[in-house]
Amino acid sequence: MRDANCIFCKIAAGEIPSKTIYEDVDFRVILDLGPATKGHALILPKEHYEDFFALPEEAAKGAVSVAKKIAPKMMANLHADGMNLVQNNGETAGQTVKHFHLHLIPRYKDDGQHILWNPGEVSQEELELIKDQIIG
Ligand code: 5GP
Ligand code: ZN
| pLDDT score of 7 more than 90 | yes
Residues labelled as active-site residues: 101
Q: How confident is the model at residue 1 (pLDDT cuts 50, 70, 90)?
A: confident
| pLDDT score of 94 more than 90 | yes
More confident residue, 3 or 12: 12
Alpha-helical runs (H) found in 1-136: 7-12, 57-78, 124-135
- Across the range 49-62, mean pLDDT stands at 98
Do residues 36 and 113 lie in contact, with contact meaning Cβ atoms separated by under 8 Å? yes
| pLDDT score of 128 more than 90 | yes
Q: Is 30 exposed, middle or buried (0-12, 13-18, 19+ CB in 10 A)?
A: buried
Position 69 scores a pLDDT of 98
Q: Ligand 1 centre and the CA of 35: distance in Å? A: 8
Q: Ligand 2 centre and the CA of 106: distance in Å? A: 25
DSSP state of 48: -
Specify the ligand 1 atom closest to the Cα of 36. 10
d(CA 126, CA 105): 33
Q: How confident is the model at residue 64 (pLDDT cuts 50, 70, 90)?
A: very high
Q: Which residues line ligand 1 (CB under 6 A)?
A: 7, 18, 30, 32-34, 42, 88, 94-97
Question: Could you give the maximum distance between any two Cα atoms of the chain, in Å?
Answer: 53
Position 121 scores a pLDDT of 98
Position 50 scores a pLDDT of 98
Task: Of 6, 12, 41, give the one whose Cα is nearest residue 24.
Answer: 12
